């Protein structure tokens, strides 16, 4: 990786860390987590993914002993099944929360 690319990566990592710390300190990370979960339940995504995960575990017994493998296998499916309007709304809430915390 070039020196400029490495520098950009380091800056991104530092900004990400700062945002995480501010969200934790303000309590907004906890609030966002609950907002996201509620929205995913409201749109039916949570139940749909639970059903898909259970079916996958039943059909492939080895996943029962390896939760990380199950998570890896379901990642793309979960992102594809997330309704666009839910994505937009959740990203707006996250963006607003981050902007509020960065301006403090």
pLDDT single digits (tens) 86-97: 889 888 988 888
Opening angle at CA 75, ends 73 and 79, nearest 5: 145
Distance CA 38, CA 45 (A): 10
CATH architecture assignment, domain 3-102: Orthogonal Bundle (1.10)
Nearest residue to 74 via CA among 93, 59, 84, 92: 59
pTM above 0.85, yes or no: no
47's CB contacts (< 8 A; 6+ apart) are: 41
How far is it, in rounded angstroms, from Cα 44 to Cα 86?
11
pLDDT of residue 50: 92
Chain segment 14-73, per-residue pLDDT in tens: 888 888 888 888 888 888 889 889 989 999 999 999 999 888 888 877 655 678 888 888
- Asked whether the CA dihedral 44, 50, 53, 59 is positive or negative, the reply is negative
């Amino acid at each position: 990786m070039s020196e400029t690319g490495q520098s950009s990566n380091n800056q991104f990592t530092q900004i990400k860390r700062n945002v995480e710390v501010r969200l934790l300190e303000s309590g907004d990370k906890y609030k966002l987590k609950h907002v996201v979960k509620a929205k995913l339940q409201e749109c039916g995504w949570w139940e749909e993914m639970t059903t898909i995960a259970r079916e996958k575990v039943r059909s492939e017994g080895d996943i029962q002993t390896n939760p990380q493998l199950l998570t890896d296998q379901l990642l793309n499916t979960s992102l594809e099944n997330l309704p666009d309007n839910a994505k937009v709304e959740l990203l707006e809430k996250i963006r607003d929360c981050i902007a509020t915390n960065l301006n403090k």
